[in-house]
């Protein structure tokens, strides 16, 4: 049962991060297409935001790993 929970949780965390990073990529691509000269600024903001999104997803992943290895029981 714990294994099932860990698997489902990791999947949902991945879905959330995927949607978030996809939206960031969409925004960045549109921004760069409109204003190619702002490439450097957009790239910096994109990496920063992607890191923040990914951090939240990794919280979920760490909890799943803890369930999987039975840490904290």
Stretch that binds other proteins, among 21-29, 30-38, 64-72 (CB under 8 A): 64-72
> Looking at 48, 67, 72, 73, which residue binds other proteins (CB under 8 A)?
48
Residues 1-20 touching other proteins, rule: CB under 8 A, are: none
47 lies in the binding site for other proteins (CB under 8 A)? yes
- Asked if 24 and 49 count as a contact pair (C-beta separation under 8 A), the reply is yes
Site residues for other proteins per CB under 8 A:
44, 47-48, 51-52, 54-56, 58-59, 61-62, 65, 68-69
């Amino acid at each position: 049962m714990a294994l099932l929970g860990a698997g489902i949780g990791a999947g949902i965390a991945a879905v959330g991060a995927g949607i978030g990073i996809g939206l960031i990529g969409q925004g960045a691509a549109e921004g760069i297409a409109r204003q190619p000269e702002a490439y450097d600024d957009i790239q910096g903001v994109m990496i920063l935001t992607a890191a923040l999104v990914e951090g939240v997803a990794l919280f979920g992943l760490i909890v799943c790993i803890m369930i999987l290895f039975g840490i904290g029981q």
